[in-house]
Structure 1
Amino acid sequence: MGQHVIKMPDIGEGIAEVELVEWHVQAGDEVVEDQILADVMTDKATVQVPSPVHGKVLALGGKVGEVMAVGAELIRLQVEGKGNAPAAKAVDAASSSEQTQGGDSRTRAPEPAPTPRATASSEARSDSGGGPSAGSSDSGAGRVIFMPAAQAVSAVSAPARKPGEKPLASPAVRKRAWDLGIELQYVAGSGAAGRITHADLDEHLARGPAGPTSLRPAGGLAPRDDVQEIPVIGLRRKIAEKMQESKRRIPHFTYVEEIDVTELEALRLRLNERWGGERGKLTILPLLARAMVLALRDFPQINARYDDEAGAVTRYGAVHLGMAAQTESGLMVPVIRHAEALDLWACASEITRLATAARSGRASRDELTGSTITLTSLGALGGIVSTPVINHPEVAIVGVNRIVERPMIVGGAIVARKVMNLSSSFDHRVVDGMHAAQFIQQVRGLLECPAMLFVE
Structure 2
Amino acid sequence: MARVLEFKLPDLGEGLTEAEIVRWLVEVGDVVTIDQPVVEVETAKAMVEVPCPYGGVVTARFGEEGSELPVGAPLLTVAVGSPSTAPDDADTDRPPEGQGRAARSDGGPAAERGATVRREETPESGETAGETAGETSGNVLVGYGTGAPAARRRRVRPSVYAATAQTSAPTPAPGRPGQVPARAGATDSAVAEEWEGPVAVISPLVRKLARRHGLDLRQITGSGREGLILRADVESAIKGLEEDAESVAASAPPLGGPAVGGRPGPVAQPVQAAPEGERIALRGVRGAVADKLSRSRREIPDATCWVDADATELMAARAAMNATADGGSAPKVSVLALLARICTAALSRFPELNSAVDTEAREVVRLPAVHLGFAAQTERGLMVPVVRDAHSRNTESIGAEIGRLTEAARTGKLTPAQLTGGTFTLNNYGVFGVDGSTPIINHPEAAMLGVGRIVAKPWVHEGELAVRQVVQLSLTFDHRVCDGATAGGFLRYVADCVEQPALLLRTL
Partners in 1 of 2:477 and 2:382 — Cα distance? 20
The aligned counterpart of 1:162 is: 210
Classify 1:409/1:228 alpha carbon distance in 2 versus 1 (closer, same or farther; 3 Å): same
1:395 partnered with 2:446: yes
Classify 1:226/1:31 alpha carbon distance in 2 versus 1 (closer, same or farther; 3 Å): farther
Which of 410, 417, 437 is matched with 1:386 structurally? Answer: 437
Shift of the alpha carbon at 1:67? 4.8
Shift of the alpha carbon at 1:46? 3.6
The aligned counterpart of 1:36 is: 37
Higher relative contact order (CA 8 A, sep 6+): 1
Compute the RMSD of aligned alpha carbons.
3.7
Deviations 1:47-105 (A, max 9, x none): 432332332443515774435142x323345565547211123356996357998679x
The aligned counterpart of 2:22 is: 22
1:448 partnered with 2:499: yes
The aligned counterpart of 1:303 is: 354
Partners in 2 of 1:266 and 1:42 — Cα distance? 42
1:60 partnered with 2:62: yes
The gaps in structure 2 that reach 5 residues or longer are 83-102, 106-116, 122-130, 143-159, 165-203, 215-223, 236-245, 247-273
Shift of the alpha carbon at 1:412? 4.1
C-alpha contact 1:390 1:426 (8 A) present in aligned 2: yes
Identity percentage of aligned residues = 35
Shift of the alpha carbon at 1:382? 4.5
Q: For this pair of structures, how many residues does the alignment match?
A: 355
The aligned counterpart of 1:286 is: 337
Partners in 2 of 1:96 and 1:370 — Cα distance? 40
The aligned counterpart of 1:245 is: 295
Partners in 1 of 2:297 and 2:442 — Cα distance? 10
Comparing 19-28 and 414-423, the one that deviates more: 19-28
Shift of the alpha carbon at 1:312? 1.9
The aligned counterpart of 2:400 is: 349
Classify 1:29/1:229 alpha carbon distance in 2 versus 1 (closer, same or farther; 3 Å): farther
Tell me the TM-score normalised to structure 1 length.
0.68
Classify 1:59/1:264 alpha carbon distance in 2 versus 1 (closer, same or farther; 3 Å): closer
Classify 1:297/1:453 alpha carbon distance in 2 versus 1 (closer, same or farther; 3 Å): same
Partners in 2 of 1:20 and 1:407 — Cα distance? 51
Shift of the alpha carbon at 1:42? 4.7
Partners in 2 of 1:10 and 1:367 — Cα distance? 17
Secondary structure at the aligned position of 1:389 is classed as coil
The aligned counterpart of 1:75 is: 76
The one-letter code sitting in structure 2 at the alignment partner of 1:248 is R
1:431 partnered with 2:482: yes
Classify 1:95/1:346 alpha carbon distance in 2 versus 1 (closer, same or farther; 3 Å): closer
The one-letter code sitting in structure 2 at the alignment partner of 1:264 is L
Partners in 2 of 1:65 and 1:161 — Cα distance? 16
Partners in 2 of 1:87 and 1:27 — Cα distance? 24
Which of 274, 283, 290 is matched with 2:324 structurally? Answer: 274
The gaps in structure 1 that reach 5 residues or longer are 105-138, 141-158, 167-189, 201-210, 212-223
The one-letter code sitting in structure 2 at the alignment partner of 1:263 is E
C-alpha contact 1:97 1:193 (8 A) present in aligned 2: no
Deviations 1:385-434 (A, max 9, x none): 11111111110000111011011233443210110001221011112122
Secondary structure at the aligned position of 1:301 is classed as helix
Please identify the structure whose Cα radius of gyration is greater: 2
Deviations 1:140-186 (A, max 9, x none): 9xxxxxxxxxxxxxxxxxx99334379xxxxxxxxxxxxxxxxxxxx
The aligned counterpart of 2:304 is: 254
C-alpha contact 2:301 2:479 (8 A) present in aligned 1: yes
The aligned counterpart of 2:471 is: 420
